Amino acid sequence: MSLETGVCATAAAVRTGERSAVEVVQEALTRIAVRDGAINAFTTVTEERALTAATAVDAQRAAGRDPGPLAGVPFAVKNLYDIANIATVAGSHIDLDRAPASRDAALVRHLAEHGAVLVGALNMDEYAYGFSTENSHYGATRNPHDPARVAGGSSGGSAAAVAASVVPLALGSDTNGSIRVPAALCGVFGLRPTFGRLSRAGMRLFASSLDVGGPFARSVEDLAIAYDALQGADPDDAACTMRPPEPVTQILRQGLGGIRIAVATGYFSSQGVPDAFAAVERVAAALGASHRIEVPAAGLARAAAMIVTSVEGAELHLPDLIARGPEFDPMTRARFLAGALAPGAWYSHAQRLRRWYCQELTKLFRNVDVVLAPATPYPAFPIGQGLIDLGGQQLPAAGHLGVFTQPFSFAGLPTLAAPVAQTGSLPLGVQIVAAPWREDIAFRVAAAAEELGVLVSSPPIAS
Amino acid sequence: MAEPFDPALYVPQAAAALGLPLAPEDLGDVISAFAVLARVAGPVMAFPLPEELIAAAVFIPGERARG
């Protein structure tokens, strides 16, 4: 058995004693050493800590205690998550000067408390401001399906590490699509939970009214067990819900009975390549979903999300923009500086428009339970490509990747990004979008589609 | 009628108001990035909203002691 079997199988093997946690973690460390050179997903490997934690998991089992549902599962996190005793760099050089974190981020602690073992930190766009993980300081993360192409971003290291089967589980963050875009381009599952569902304590934020953390895995079941472990109220994050956890692992196989599924049309059926829309249609056909729905003002929502993001992101980094501007990544610097200069009325109006838009989507979810939409407008493009041609229009290749993700995150909706089977040589994904706090419905639809064979995380040929 | 907007005039002045230094080699890129933002903001600002609609982010005093 190897880590290719995923989160649940690995935990089961450790829990039954078929494998030791130390053996599993050593295998993950070997994979990092052997495979990461080709994809550049890892920025830090926490070998000593990992072996200590794995030894503790084995000792727990040996003492007859439950080592947890994620016993011995190696995982890694986007390098904006605090890891005790390591400076949290969030893809920057500037923050190498920061004091090491005093403790792990809340979500890292949750996974560790469930038996999972942290093996390292992962590459990202600087301060999460990007969709391609082309980081000038740490190098671009490469797509395991074609190392000449981007992994997507900003959680590109997380998606690539899972896609290349280096680890079965990783954490990323999503402000405008930073979990869903790389999940789609690397062909893995990724969850952006409802805004406020999971604690962000100990995460370096980017745009705090939009940011969420979430997991990546290679199957719906693996994503579900991780998501369940991540839940829990946290007074250390002012945005974190006080709702009790609503686990999904037990309801995955409840089927589609009563779930109304619609395909997003209009805005979500243009501005991309035909294959991206065909992938969504294949999922819809397999699920028997023929209903179409127009998401109102999706383009306006995306525009308002861009304003909110640029203003919140710039304000957060303003002291460094003033004192250390030249040390920002050239890939993010001009956008951060421009965001700092936006008139206040733009921001306030965008946040008021957001409330109107949320009300409109509440009406939409009276008639449907799930909306299907493409995750990205095209598959991974070559690293370094600045513009992309779409029907004669030249668009920023990285910036346009978020065209279909931003309208859903602006409303805080839970969205599961899933890899569609047989999309050709490069992966493409679908977004399964549900009403606020209804991750359970998105998971049920994903599980049904996976069982039908239309969603699958295919390993890269190179691995 | 308002003057046509020129980001090349606005950007250096707004940066000065914030005490934000702009390196000469960055100025062109920042002006371009601001022009993109201004283009994006156009339809957002043109979208009328009722006065009673409050911002999506709501402040609740005292709700979370440690937040």
**What confidence tens digit (pLDDT) does each residue in A351-366 have?**
999 999 999 999 999 9
**CA pseudo-torsion sign A445, A451, A456, A459:** positive
pLDDT at A371 over 60: yes
Point out the residue among A235, A299, A355 whose CB comes nearest to the CB of B65.
Answer: A235
Residue A321: helix, strand or coil by DSSP?
helix
Please report the pLDDT score of residue A423 as a whole number.
Answer: 74
Indicate which of A194, A329, A337, A357 best probes the interface with B, i.e. most B CBs within 10 Å of its own CB.
Answer: A337
Q: Are A200 and A213 in contact (CB under 8 A)?
A: yes
- Pairing state between β A387-390 and A393-396: antiparallel
**What confidence tens digit (pLDDT) does each residue in A190-239 have?**
999 999 999 999 999 999 999 999 999 999 999 999 999 999 999 999 99
Interface of chain A against chain B, CB under 8 Å?
A: 209, 235-239, 297, 299-300, 303-304, 306-307, 310, 318, 321-322, 325-326, 333-335, 337-342, 345-346, 348-356, 358
- Pairing state between β A261-265 and A370-374: parallel
**What confidence tens digit (pLDDT) does each residue in A147-172 have?**
999 999 999 999 999 999 999 999 99
Please report the pLDDT score of residue A1 as a whole number.
Answer: 43
Angle between helix A156-163 and helix A21-39 axes, rounded to 10 deg? 120
Q: Is this model's pTM higher than 0.95 or not?
A: yes
Please report the pLDDT score of residue A426 as a whole number.
Answer: 97
Please report the pLDDT score of residue A287 as a whole number.
Answer: 98
Point out the residue among B40, B54, B66 whose CB comes nearest to the CB of A306.
Answer: B40
**What confidence tens digit (pLDDT) does each residue in A407-461 have?**
999 999 999 999 999 878 899 999 999 999 999 999 999 999 999 999 999 999 7
Q: Say whether A78 is catalytic.
A: yes
**CA pseudo-torsion sign A302, A305, A307, A313:** negative
Residue A135: helix, strand or coil by DSSP?
strand
Question: Are B47 and A339 an interchain contact pair (Cβ–Cβ within 8 Å)?
Answer: no
Residue A274, both tokens:
């035909």
**What confidence tens digit (pLDDT) does each residue in A43-75 have?**
999 999 999 999 999 999 999 999 999 999 999
Cis peptide before A154 (omega within 30 of 0): yes
As a whole number, the mean pLDDT across chain A is: 97
Instruction: Report the alpha-carbon distance of residue A134 to residue A401 in Å, rounded.
Output: 14
Determine phi and psi for A270, rounding to 5 degrees. Answer: -140, 180
pLDDT at B64 over 70: no
Please report the pLDDT score of residue B62 as a whole number.
Answer: 67
B64 in reach of chain A (CB within 8 A)? yes
Please report the pLDDT score of residue B2 as a whole number.
Answer: 75
Q: Say whether A154 is catalytic.
A: yes
Please report the pLDDT score of residue A3 as a whole number.
Answer: 53
Interface confidence (ipTM) of the complex: 0.94
**What confidence tens digit (pLDDT) does each residue in A219-228 have?**
999 999 999 9
CA-nearest of A227, A225, A173, A223 to A201 is A173
Please report the pLDDT score of residue B65 as a whole number.
Answer: 47
Residue A172: helix, strand or coil by DSSP?
strand
